[in-house]
Structures are given as C-alpha cells and as structure tokens.
A and B are shown apart, each in its own frame.
Chain A
Amino acid sequence: NAGVTQTPKFQVLKTGQSMTLQCAQDMNHEYMSWYRQDPGMGLRLIHYSVGAGITDQGEVPNGYNVSRSTTEDFPLRLLSAAPSQTSVYFCASSPRRDSDQPQHFGDGTRLSIL
C-alpha cells in the first residue's frame, strides 16, 4: 500500500498563478482533509470531505477550492496564489468508523509563492 500520496513535493509559484495540489489514497478511506502548517501555528484545517461528492470548509478555507469526485482523490486548488499561502500542505485520510480514528498523513507539499 502506498498510503496517502501527495504531488508535487515542492513547488514555487508566482503571485497570481493557479495550481492544483494532488492527493490520492489507496486505503479506501471515506474521510480526507487538507491542512496547512506554518511556523508557530501548528496544523490548520483548510477543507475536509466525508465522502465522494461531499466537502466542507475548515478553519482557513479562503483562497482554496476542493472537490471530491472519487473516494481516492482529493485535490486542493489555489485559484490565484498569494505570498500568504506560502506553507507546507498536508493531506490526510481516515476510515469511517463509529469512533474517532487516527489520520494518515501524506509527506506534504512545500509551496512557495513569490
């Protein structure tokens, strides 16, 4: 099993450019999430999804869009990149159970906006 796979691992963008961060999981997990991690601020939830066709906003959704057309994939789109979006982005997944389950994280995408 590959687990949670994020691509690309590194990316540099210019202000105003758009791009999509890819996230795929092969564990048939229903739940997927996107977080950003900035120094001194821990992980903050951007968007999450409880299943194909269902998404919802987290703590810091502005400037980001998501969609969940399949169970496996949960891409994160930056429509017009801003320097404030320079961060490390983590995708995570977990299975649906009656109780909380640990999340499985991808290796992250390190994004710099110039």
Chain B
Amino acid sequence: KNEVEQSPQNLTAQEGEFITINCSYSVGISALHWLQQHPGGGIVSLFMLSSGKKKHGRLIATINIQEKHSSLHITASHPRDSAVYICAVSPAMNYGGSQGNLIFGKGTKLSVKP
C-alpha cells in the first residue's frame, strides 16, 4: 500500500467549476506539501501546512491531522490551472525511510476545458 494516496488520478472539469483533489496518508507527519507540475516538467510548491487551512488566490488547502487527510480546492477553475497536482508529506522524525526525503503521492492530472 502506498503511504500517500491521491484521488482522483485524473480529473476533467469545465472552466468555472469548483475542484477538489484529495490526499490521504498513513504515516506520522510533520508537514504536508501541495505541489503543481505544468506540462513541460517544472514543479513548484503551492502550500506547506501542518494544521488547519491555507489560502492563496483561488487555491485553498486544508488538512485534518486526526484523519490523516488533506484536500486541495480550486475555486472558479481556469484552463491555466491544468496541471498535475502532487501531494507530498514530510515524515515525522521517528519514521524509518530515506532520511530527509519527502514521500510523494502519484499525482492528480487536472484538465480544465474552456
């Protein structure tokens, strides 16, 4: 079982729709990251959060530590939001794994049609 699971894998929306991408994880974490990868490769960090909610423009990220779940919402979606959205977690100090590494979900590919 993957330690970070995202759903859905693929998502097609019409311009203007409200979009939700989900991320569930099974390990203890110190933080959770949402990343965006546009066609062409480059990845940028959107949010890092360890509790509650963060908002940047039309993007909102929430996390529920007890339920080990995070959501990324996009309001009033636009074709330029088309990208792969990747959830990643910073594992807690007592987690055994590649030290210093994030654990990545497989990504959600979003396509917003005009």
A and B form one complex:
no
Contact surface of B with A, Cβ cutoff 8 Å: none
